[in-house]
Amino acid sequence: MSTTEPNQPQVARGLEGIVAAATNIAEVDGQNGKLTLRGYDISELSGNVIFEEVAYLLWHGKLPNQSELDTLLQTMSSARELPDEVLTCLKTIGDKATGMDVVRIGASMLSIGDDTLGSLDLGVNKHRAARLQAQMPAIVAHAYRLSQGLEVVHPKPEHNLAAGFLYMLEGVEPSQPRVDALNAYLVAVAEHGLNASTFTGRVILSTDSDMVSALTGAIGALKGSKHGGVPGPVLKMLQEIGEPENADAFIRNEMLSGRRIMGFGHRVYKVRDPRAALLSSAAERMAALTGDDHLLRLTKAVEDTTVKVLAELKPGRDLYANVELFAALILHAVGVPSELFTPIFAIGRTSGWTAHMLDQIEDARLIRPASIYVGPRDYKFVPIDERD
């Protein structure tokens, strides 16, 4: 925090240290490296549930029973097709908009045909959250195929979200190890407290706007490099290192050159990001099934080497692997193009975003922080022909 004059209130730059919401959705414990979703440590969920179960947990406050899960899967399956107007727009823009730009454009059009868009009824918006979650993978997959000059692959009703995304992306049935690995990734990134994009969504909903507008705003916030977009550079770094024995020289050179080591350090976590552990385990399971563990061994070597070199060159900084290091490993192993890494993060985080939007609807209070004027005063008007 800082002040501009002794008698003025303190300014929390970036709202750092300010508690802006009380929520029972998620707890991010940076000191102990724990992430809790609705009372469940994330390690209790990873590997035991599919993504839709976590989405249900975030929206409803409990894990679904089989009947509730079946209903949700049916609801999302029937909502997965995009409105014709959205498909026409995606076809029109083709390769003119890519990555997060096309995700933002596509998401903003999901209000088409929604006759209850302005309703603040909680039940209506829980149903809307499921619809938006179901449609996000179609936006990402269809837009990518169209940018590559390929035809759209329409979803199959029997697929869950992870399998459906890979099928729409590639047009062939995905293998179960790939589906499981993508599912593990989506579970790991589903929710993470009041970060910049989540806060953006809550601010928009606090004005009594609608969930589609809030989702579009959250996507816009995620696009920024200070928030999203890191797995791509992580993968590039791993590819540049190439082999585990090259890690030490590469990491030292990067640090001595003043460059950031991608995939390390977190604003909240002072220990290893718990999501990194979950994705590392998921990568090990996939490697055991596929027999390909080269990238896994390389990533682990880079993690061990970086932690060692950071402790040597920057002692006391508490810089450890974050979720992005192993996200790059998982998504590359699944076969996802690197330009889709951040859009796929947006798919997973839609569940958390919309859960917070539901929370904000219940809170029903406008988010309106104050500001302090620090500019000049007492200027006198000067006619235009007398100005310098």
pLDDT tens column, 62-119: 999 999 999 999 999 999 999 999 999 999 987 788 889 999 999 999 999 999 999 9
Residue 271 has pLDDT above 90, yes or no: no
pLDDT at 229 over 80: no
Please report which helix (H) or strand (E) contains residue 41, including its range. Answer: strand 40-41
Q: What is the pLDDT of residue 242?
A: 94
Report pLDDT for 227: 84
DSSP symbols for 306-347: HHHHHHHHSTT----B-HHHHHHHHHHHHT--GGGHHHHHHH
- Residue extents of the structural domains in the chain: 35-226+337-363, 231-333
Q: In DSSP terms, which residues pair with 28 in a beta bridge?
A: 35
| Contact yes or no for 132/110 (Cβ under 8 A) | yes
Helix (H) or strand (E) holding 303: helix 294-313
pLDDT at 2: 47
Helix axes 294-313, 323-334, angle to 10 degrees: 160
Q: For residue range 23-32, what is the model confidence (pLDDT) as tens digits?
A: 999 999 988 9
Band of residue 359 on the pLDDT scale cut at 50, 70, 90: very high
Average pLDDT of span 319-341: 90
Task: Reply yes or no on whether the pLDDT at 148 is more than 50.
Answer: yes
Q: 171: burial class by Cβ within 10 Å (0-12, 13-18, 19+)?
A: middle
Give the pLDDT of residue 3: 47
243 catalytic per annotation: no
Query: Is the Cα dihedral 113, 117, 118, 122 positive or negative?
Result: positive
Q: Which of 266, 303, 332, 356 is catalytic?
A: 266
Among candidates 323, 216, 308, which has minimal Cα distance to 269? 323
Arithmetic mean of pLDDT, 355-360:
98
Residue 231 pLDDT > 70: no
Look up tokens 């045909």; give the residue.
113
What percent of the chain has pLDDT above 90?
71
CATH class of 231-333: mainly alpha
Q: Is 324 a catalytic residue?
A: yes
- Lowest model confidence (mean pLDDT) among 162-176, 242-256, 308-322, 334-348: 308-322
Structure tokens at 5: 């004059």
In angstroms, rounded to a whole number, what is the distance separating the alpha carbons of residues 280 and 274? 10
Checking if the pLDDT of 43 tops 70, the result is yes
Task: With a cut of 70, say whether residue 35 has pLDDT above it.
Answer: yes
Catalytic residue among 191, 324, 332, 356: 324
Closest CA to 174 of 55, 324, 333: 333
Q: What is the pLDDT of residues 178-195, one digit of tens each?
A: 999 999 999 999 999 999
Distance between CA atoms of residues 252 and 264, nearest Å: 14
Q: Is the pTM of this model over 0.85?
A: yes
Q: Which residues contact 346 (CB under 8 A, 6 or more apart)?
A: 100, 103, 136, 140, 219, 222, 228
In this prediction, residue 146 carries a pLDDT of 94
For residue 6, is pLDDT > 70? no
181: left (phi over 0), alpha (psi -120 to 50) or beta: alpha
321 band by pLDDT with thresholds 50, 70 and 90: confident
Are 54 and 45 spatial neighbours (Cβ–Cβ below 8 Å)?
Answer: yes
DSSP string, 158-196: T--HHHHHHHHHHSSPPPHHHHHHHHHHHHHHS--SS-H
Bridge partner residues of 40 (DSSP): 37
Evaluate whether 35-226+337-363 and 231-333 have a shared fold.
Answer: no
Q: Can you tell me the distance from the alpha carbon of 82 to that of 155, in angstroms, rounded to the nearest whole number?
A: 10
* Average model confidence (pLDDT) across the chain: 92
User: Which of the listed CATH numbers 1.10.1370.30, 3.20.20.140, 1.10.580.10, 3.40.50.1100 matches domain 35-226+337-363?
Assistant: 1.10.580.10
